[in-house]
Amino acid sequence: AQTVTQSQPEMSVQEAETVTLSCTYDTSESDYYLFWYKQPPSRQMILVIRQEAYKQQNATENRFSVNFQKAAKSFSLKISDSQLGDAAMYFCAYRSATGGGADGLTFGKGTHLIIQP
């Protein structure tokens, strides 16, 4: 079974600064997907960014980028120019690709990101 570990229960950053959230995972599979989801107080789960394991290039979405280290099984999220609206819980998630890409997600416990004005 796969596991996802987020070692930072809470992080705090000043507005406009950069913050990095950590995520490690354990799997014996070679093909999979990794995701970061954001959950604001409204509790809606919002996809931030995705990474296919077969791609060496790190995914980027505007101010959000990842550092994907497949050998180290590490998948960190970098948020540049932090904004007040970035305050939320952030969840790292793993999805196997062996089931035809239609498997469920395995989530980490989450990191609570606080943005200081």
Partner 1 sequence: DAGVIQSPRHEVTEMGQEVTLRCKPISGHNSLFWYRQTMMRGLELLIYFNNNVPIDDSGMPEDRFSAKMPNASFSTLKIQPSEPRDSAVYFCASSPRYNEQFFGPGTRLTVL
Contact residues toward partner 1 (CB under 8 A) are: 33, 35, 37, 42-47, 50, 91, 95, 97, 99-110
| Smallest distance from partner 1 to CB 42, Å | 8
Q: Bridge-partner residues for 91, per DSSP?
A: 37
Closer CB to partner 1, residue 99 or residue 117? Answer: 99
Closer CB to partner 1, residue 26 or residue 81? Answer: 26
Residue partners of 28: CB distance under 8 A and separation at least 6: none
| Smallest distance from partner 1 to CB 21, Å | 16
φ/ψ (deg, to 5) at 86 = -80, -10
User: Are 110 and 88 within 8 A, CB to CB?
Assistant: no
Closer CB to partner 1, residue 82 or residue 106? Answer: 106
| Smallest distance from partner 1 to CB 107, Å | 4
CA distances from 51 to 19, 21, 106, 117 (A): 19, 15, 15, 31
| Smallest distance from partner 1 to CB 79, Å | 19
Closer CB to partner 1, residue 13 or residue 97? Answer: 97
* Interatomic CA distance for residues 15 and 19, integer angstroms: 10
